[in-house]
A and B are shown apart, each in its own frame.
Chain A
């Protein structure tokens, strides 16, 4: 029987590896720009990590079925953190279509089904069951991708392979402890009545603890540093409110303990495990006797042999170092999409990290990245819309109020407008890191930022005669920044731009 799968091995202008939301989104963006490419995946179908995770069934990112704006309009993506970004109504806001309405956090299966529907309806075809196995680079810069189906040759590679390889710190004995990813197939009833020590107090640790509350008789979450949940930091990356029931249980003495300890070693014995630790905020040394230990110690990017090719990593070898457009900092032509794009940390204004660890943030990265690749590797420029200069101020404030990319990637992505000889041009969503550190024509980039005290406010970066200056605006009721005070100030800031 002939193989009817698309993209057989051969020469392609570009190859994307991975069909999770990162791979699907960047492939969609590239195809919309007319960039021919192959999309391959080791999986049997679309969905990536959502084919297996999260373990206890529901995502931590919401998709609000009913929002203050129409479902499907661009501003709606601000209220739907999980759907792929498209400009075609038939493909928009697909996650809510598959949700049963009981919860505004989609179930894993609902997310997986929505991604499959997106791939199908948007025509994002892929060659499934095709496993990337090796990577070489020839003298002329051509990459040769060895796969289970044969060789792919290309000048540009995009890896959207997820961040689901288990990572463990070098604690003696931890190698015998199952990792979060190792217990995916385990029946939750097998934890019934057990004392469970969970190493790690980030989202994966709290997810496991929350899921085991009705099963385990005692839960201990331990790591060196105290918990700083999202509702305290204002950042989207720390433990989310949805998983914090174990923390409340610990505060009320209900059988859960959340402890600040540095682990010294873990010993296996006939009854389970002995966890030797020392308190990092006092109380000295301690030994925990438990039945089970689970390492929720984080994940690493599946980089395969890319390190041998020269791809530099950091964050304990878990992430590739990247340029502002998510290209390897050390091997040009290799890009990263999806969760690995968090290796580009953004501006870190007021400590706000990039939101690239989750779909809600990295889907916008992928669209910007596709545009950058089209321009820098294939000479294809997206047509820019000309704006009436008299409308620019209102347009920018409207964008700051409602644009989903700006809101999802605060202080990392921004709306850019360029001025030249009395005319104005909408350059679309820009990488702020690149805008503030690049020379160029007079322009403005506006974004939204959260200050240390939790104030949400717009910030305009104005480039005049090559120098970029920062201008923070104040907060506004209901985060509607289209107020007279802002209009007046922004008008003054933009006066005379572009000569």
Chain B
């Protein structure tokens, strides 16, 4: 594992450089602490440390309520991820197909789904499809557009992984007499997957983030429950802070889990 660039840059400092670094570190620490103190002071002067804005966080019912919201988020995100991973594979196969008849529509679908915002697709499911007579349930009005949108990106991620597998593997497999399907599913795709796991997990994080649009279709998830707490206790800043922290924690946990898997592409 090669050394990090900054370690090389700042390796073996002279005594003077060491002293400068120490002083700079202390100054940086002080400045950051002052910044933090400034924020805390602002909270205080705006009365945000008032007990009535925080006391309900001590009750288990509050956390149970937030937990229910989080479950709603995860239920939608999990299904959307499944849709994205499977549909993404279908789109990839279409994209890699030999015949133009299959390849061009696949490219068109991928570019269309990648090129439009997820929120727009959600509005389409909520407002436009019913005009055409298609009435999905609330859950699917959120999960389907998020899944479709992510599927297109996943297809491209799969493709990048497939392209990164050395050609020699494909050639060797073909020379052994394997069919194209066998080459793909047994040799190329498994290796491709190991390259792209971090990128796939990054998409999973994006899926969780997209579910925050659930309130647009009246799907009950974490943001919605946050608004109920705010209506009950008028505690805007603390509730939104806690909810934001919850989202960050969940996504951070998902990202961390990915670091244990997969190997880099170069």
Q: Do A and B come from one complex?
A: no
